[in-house]
């Protein structure tokens, strides 16, 4: 039996789309360029669904958090990404973080073992002229394919920088200085905290400003950063206290190592660097919010001035790469199809959604849409009051096309609840979303087991 859908890109979105189609009895050819003649500046392996930046899927709270609600909806739709995430899960308080190697291996095994999926290692350089296709090549789309997309759309691709945070070997962290805790003790002792006095913080801040930065290439000029992945040194340029109200905020972190008489602020630090567990063994920890474009030597020198990291050994230093995405509100219809070439759908971060979970969710939806089309069924999308519906609405029309930028799921994308008091609004958004999503799900003719 011939393949019915061609998916280009074996990242999170492509893998999720393949799973959704295969579970519905549809044959899929999944093309991944890594291992087949292509590579990227950020990936380190050829594993499917490799996580190249953080290992966190962010909050798993589905009662008051938009991304937690998205987790809930994806689980109800038998998401492969959420399945693999549970297997690979590591402690992270109320967040969902995973061992990136275990996670990738779980996704790859599920797809390679599925009778309806054929994984092919090949570089696809042009958009197919026919045949149902889902393009899920992510923010690191190969140059040749990107040029083909530009040619097909008539629109220049947009780009922003994404930065990667360093990873530290746990046994090189001085736990006589650092301690384990989550803010306000919520979620247990899931983070390693490195405390800074005011003097240490000011010296570190100046070091960020003075550090040698990576050079820009010609094609990188005037490319904006995505606010959610702002390099630490760029945040530092915004003001001396910006970091203390961002990734280095000390609130809710009571340092048991500091005796009151030794520190004027008692056990409360002026600033705190947090590290989050990166693998199941607990041997690797990533520096939360420390994406950077500093040169490697400058990173090692400066980050070893952080209390507790004086002898830190780095499994990976920070890095930087360009993310590519299309102007989706202008180019795609409500079913993620390319206007004028409706056999092609786009999914994942190449559409301008931002984040692992968001990318996976859009891949999931693209798979469901393609399955419905092949079955001759009318597609009715999830309600705009749900996380999936809100994200889809942003990508396919609600966003301003003239100023379209990548976006994480957030309650600002949902239809407003102005008659609900502010303190109760988040819970009201999630309650409404769950109820409406449940009704939509019940109305589907077939839901995967």
Domains and CATH numbers, the chain: 5-157+326-443 (3.50.50.60), 164-322 (2.40.30.260)
State the average pLDDT over residues 239-249. 95
State the average pLDDT over residues 147-161. 77
User: Among all chains, which residue has been given the structure tokens 């089309």?
Assistant: 373
User: Residue 367, annotated ligand binder?
Assistant: no
More confident of the two residues 253 and 398: 253
pTM: 0.80
User: Residue 13, annotated ligand binder?
Assistant: yes
State the average pLDDT over residues 228-234. 84
pLDDT at 219 (0 to 100): 46
User: Residue 12, annotated ligand binder?
Assistant: yes
Q: What is the pLDDT of residues 388-435, one digit of tens each?
A: 999 999 999 866 666 777 788 999 889 989 899 988 999 999 999 999
Tell me which DSSP letter residue 138 carries. Answer: G
pLDDT at 241 (0 to 100): 96
User: Residue 92, annotated ligand binder?
Assistant: no
Beta pairing partners, 294: 213
- Choose the weakest-confidence range: 194-198, 318-322, 352-356: 318-322
pLDDT higher than 80, residue 182: yes
Residues 6+ apart with CB under 8 A from 96: 56, 57, 58, 59, 60, 71, 85, 89
More confident of the two residues 138 and 336: 336
Residues 6+ apart with CB under 8 A from 43: 34, 50, 52, 140
SS3 418: coil
The strand ranges marked E within 165-216 are 167-169, 179-180, 191-196
User: Among all chains, which residue has been given the structure tokens 């010296």?
Assistant: 203
User: Residue 355, annotated ligand binder?
Assistant: no
Q: Which of 155, 332, 336, 324 is nearest to 226 (CA)?
A: 324
pLDDT higher than 70, residue 356: yes
pLDDT higher than 80, residue 272: yes
Residue 307: how many other CB atoms lie within 10 Å: 19
Residue 424: how many other CB atoms lie within 10 Å: 12
Phi, psi torsion values for 116, nearest 5 degrees: -100, 5
Name the percent of the chain lying above pLDDT 90. 65
User: Among all chains, which residue has been given the structure tokens 């394919």?
Assistant: 145
Phi, psi torsion values for 41, nearest 5 degrees: -75, -15
Sheet holding 191-196, edge to edge: 179-180, 191-196, 271-277, 284-287, 167-169, 314-316
pLDDT at 294 (0 to 100): 92
Confirm if 350 and 324 have CB atoms less than 8 A apart.
Answer: yes
Q: C-alpha 96: how far from its chain's center?
A: 12
pLDDT higher than 80, residue 264: no
Kind and range of the H or E run holding 366: helix 356-374
Q: What is the pLDDT of residues 82-131, one digit of tens each?
A: 999 999 999 999 999 999 999 999 999 999 999 999 999 999 999 999 99
Report d(CA 231, CA 140) in Å as an integer.
18
Phi, psi torsion values for 196, nearest 5 degrees: -125, 140
State the average pLDDT over residues 33-46. 73
Q: Which of 6, 8, 15, 106 is nearest to 356 (CA)?
A: 15
CA diameter of the chain: 76
pLDDT at 281 (0 to 100): 80
Report d(CA 201, CA 243) in Å as an integer.
10
Average per-residue pLDDT in the chain? 89
pLDDT at 261 (0 to 100): 58
State the average pLDDT over residues 293-317. 94
Helix boundaries (H) for 161-276: 198-210, 232-236
Among 94-103, 225-234, 318-327, 392-401, the range of highest mean pLDDT: 94-103
Confirm if 70 and 361 have CB atoms less than 8 A apart.
Answer: yes
User: Residue 14, annotated ligand binder?
Assistant: yes
Q: Is 154 exposed, middle or buried (0-12, 13-18, 19+ CB in 10 A)?
A: exposed
pLDDT higher than 70, residue 292: yes
């Amino acid at each position: 039996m011939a393949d019915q859908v061609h998916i280009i890109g074996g990242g999170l979105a492509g893998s999720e789309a393949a799973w959704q189609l295969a579970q519905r009895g549809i044959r899929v050819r999944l093309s991944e360029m890594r291992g087949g003649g292509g590579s990227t500046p950020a990936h380190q392996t050829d594993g499917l669904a490799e996580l190249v930046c953080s290992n966190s899927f962010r909050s798993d709270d589905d009662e008051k958090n938009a991304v937690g609600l998205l987790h809930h909806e994806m689980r109800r739709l038998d998401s492969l990404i959420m399945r693999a995430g549970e297997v690979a899960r590591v402690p992270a308080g109320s967040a969902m973080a995973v061992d990136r190697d275990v996670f990738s291996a779980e996704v790859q095994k599920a797809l390679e073992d599925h009778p309806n999926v054929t994984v092919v290692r090949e570089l696809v350089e042009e958009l197919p002229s026919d045949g149902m296709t889902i393009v899920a090549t992510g923010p690191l789309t190969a140059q040749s394919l990107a040029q083909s997309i530009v040619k097909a759309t008539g629109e220049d691709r947009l780009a922003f920088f994404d930065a990667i945070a360093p990873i530290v070997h746990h046994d090189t962290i001085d736990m006589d200085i650092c301690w384990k805790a989550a803010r306000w003790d919520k979620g247990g002792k899931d983070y390693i905290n490195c405390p800074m006095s005011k003097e240490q913080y000011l010296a570190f801040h100046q070091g960020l400003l003075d550090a040698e930065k990576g050079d820009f290439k010609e094609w990188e000029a005037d490319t904006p950063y995505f606010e959610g992945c702002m390099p630490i040194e760029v945040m530092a340029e915004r003001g001396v206290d910006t970091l203390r109200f961002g990734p280095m905020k000390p609130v809710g972190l009571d340092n048991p190592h500091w005796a009151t008489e030794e520190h004027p602020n008692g056990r409360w630090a002026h600033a705190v660097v947090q590290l989050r567990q990166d693998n199941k063994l607990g041997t690797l920890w990533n520096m939360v919010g420390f994406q950077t474009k500093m040169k490697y030597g400058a990173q090692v020198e400066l980050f070893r001035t952080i209390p507790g990291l004086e002898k830190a050994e780095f499994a990976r230093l920070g890095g930087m790469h360009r993310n590519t995405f299309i102007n989706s509100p202008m180019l795609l219809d409500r079913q993620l199809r390319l206007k004028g070439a409706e056999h092609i759908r786009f999914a994942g971060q190449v559409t301008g959604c931002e984040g692992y979970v968001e990318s996976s969710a859009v891949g999931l939806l693209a798979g469901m849409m393609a399955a419905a089309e092949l079955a001759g069924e009318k597609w009715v999308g999830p309600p705009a009051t749900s996380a999936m519906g809100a994200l889809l609405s942003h990508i396919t029309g609600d966003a301003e096309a003239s100023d379209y930028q990548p976006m994480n799921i957030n309650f600002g994308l949902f239809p407003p609840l102005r008659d609900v008091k502010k303190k109760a609004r988040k819970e009201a958004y999630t309650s409404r979303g769950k109820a409406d999503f449940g009704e939509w799900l019940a109305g589907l003719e077939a839901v995967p087991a």
